[in-house]
A and B are shown apart, each in its own frame.
Chain A
Amino acid sequence: MHQPTNPVANERRELTSFWAGGQEYCVDIMSVREIRGWSAATPLPQSPQYMRGVINLRGAVLPIMDLAERLDLPPTQPSERSVIIVVQVGERLVGLLVDAVSDILSINPDQIQPTPDVGCDQAKAFIRGLITIDDRMVSEIAVERLLPEVEGLAA
Chain B
Amino acid sequence: MDELEEIKITFFQECDELLGDLESGLLSIDAGATDPELINAVFRAVHSIKGGAGAFGLEALVRYAHVFETLLDNVRGGKTDLRSELVKALLRAADVLADHVAAAKQGGEGDAVSTAAMVEELEAWISGGPVPTAPAEEVNIEPNEDGIVFTPIKLSIPEVDEGPKEQAWTITFQPMDELYSKANEAGLLIREIERLGKIEVELLDDALPTFDSLDPETAHFAWKVRLRTEVQEERIREVFEFVEGHCSTTIVREAPAPTAIEPAAGPDIAAIIAAAQAGDAQAAANSAPSEEATAIAPEPPAASLPAAAVPALAESMSSRGAPPPAPEKGNQATIRVDPERIDKLIDLVGELVINQAMLAQRVSGHGFAASSDVGRGLDELEQLTRDIQDSVMAIRAQPVKSVFQRMPRLVREIAGQTGKQVRLVTEGEGTEVDKTVIERISEPITHMLRNAIDHGLETPEERIEAGKPAEGTVRLAALHRGGRIVIEVGDDGKGINRPRVRQLAIDRGLISADAQLTDEEVDNLIFLPGFSTAAKISDISGRGVGMDVVRKSVQGLGGRISISSKPGLGSMFTLSLPLTLAVLDGMVIDVAGQTLVVPLTAIVESLRPTPAEVKKVGAQGGVLAVRDAYVPLVDIGRVLGFQTVDTNPAEGVVLLVDSEVGGRAALVADSIHGQRQVVIKSLESNYQQVPGIAAATILGDGRVALILDVDALVAMRRRELPRADEPFIEAAE
Chain A positions within 8 Å of B, measured between CB atoms, are: 40-47, 53-56, 58-63, 91-94, 147-148, 150-151, 155
Contact = CB atoms under 8 A, between A and B. Distances in A.
A62 to B, nearest CB: 6
A124 B607 CA distance: 53
B685 A92 contact: yes
Nearest to B690: A44
Interface string B678-695: 000111011111111100
B272 interface: no
Interface in B343-383: 347, 350-351, 354
Given A61-B681, A94-B686, A55 B692 contact: no
Contacts of A60: 681, 685-686
Interface stretch (B202-210, B504-512, B702-710): B702-710
A55 B698 CA distance: 9
B594 interface: yes
Contacts of A47: 690
B352 to A, nearest CB: 10
Contacts of B688: 147-148, 150-151
A61 B683 contact: yes
A46 B704 CA distance: 17
Interface string B518-543: 00000000000000000000000000
7 contacts: A42-B594, A44-B683, A54-B683, A55-B703, A61-B682, A63-B683, A151-B689
B56 interface: no
Contacts of B642: 43, 45
A45 B640 contact: yes
Nearest to B687: A63
Across the A-B interface, the 6 shortest Cβ-Cβ residue pairs: A45-B640, A63-B687, A42-B704, A61-B696, A46-B691, A59-B351
B351 A92 contact: no
A150 B690 CA distance: 11
B714 to A, nearest CB: 15
A110 B705 CA distance: 46
A61 B686 contact: yes
Contacts of B544: 155
Contacts of A59: 347, 350-351, 354, 681, 698
Residue from the set A53, A94, A155 with the largest chain B CB neighbour count within 10 Å: A155
B641 A93 contact: no
Contact of B696 (A54, A94, A151): A54
Interface string B699-719: 000111110000000000000
B686 A42 contact: no
Contacts of B160: none
Given A42-B594, A45-B640, A56-B698, A61 B689 contact: no
Contacts of B703: 40, 42, 55-56
Contacts of B687: 44, 54, 61, 63, 92, 94, 147
A56 B681 CA distance: 10
A44 B350 CA distance: 23
Nearest to B544: A155
Contacts of B690: 44-47
Chain B, interface size: which category?
20 to 34
Contacts of A92: 685-687
A46 B683 CA distance: 14
Q: Among the interface residues B545, B549, B688, B690, which one has the most CB atoms of the partner chain A within 10 A? A: B688
Contacts of A56: 698, 702-704
Contacts of A91: 685
Given A41-B704, A61-B686, A92-B685, 19 more contacts: A40-B703, A42-B595, A42-B696, A42-B706, A43-B594, A44-B687, A46-B690, A46-B692, A55-B704, A56-B703, A59-B350, A59-B351, A59-B698, A61-B682, A62-B686, A63-B687, A91-B685, A94-B687, A148-B688
Task: Say what secondary structure dominates the interface of chain A.
Answer: loop
A45 B692 contact: yes
A94 B347 CA distance: 19
Nearest to B636: A45
B331 to A, nearest CB: 39
Contacts of A55: 703-704
Given A54-B696, A58-B351, A155-B544, A44 B706 contact: yes
A53 B351 CA distance: 21
Contacts of B691: 45-46
A97 to B, nearest CB: 15
Given A42-B703, A46-B691, A155-B549, A93 B351 contact: no
A93 B595 CA distance: 24
A50 to B, nearest CB: 13
Nearest to A57: B686
B297 to A, nearest CB: 66
Interface in B326-354: 347, 350-351, 354
B347 A155 contact: no
Contacts of B705: 42
A93 B704 CA distance: 16
B708 to A, nearest CB: 10
**Listed residue (B681, B686, B690, B705) with the most chain A CB atoms within 10 angstroms of its CB:** B686
Contact of A46 (B641, B685, B698): B641
Nearest to A155: B549
A148 B545 CA distance: 27
Contacts of B704: 41-42, 53-56, 61
Contacts of B354: 59
Contacts of A62: 686
Nearest to B695: A61
Instruction: From B350, B354, B641, B642, name the one whose CB has the most chain A CB atoms within 10 angstroms.
Output: B641
Nearest to A63: B687
Nearest to A91: B685
A58 B351 CA distance: 8
Given A92-B686, A92-B687, A94-B686, A46 B681 contact: no
Contacts of B545: 155
B617 to A, nearest CB: 24
Contacts of B595: 42
A147 B641 CA distance: 21
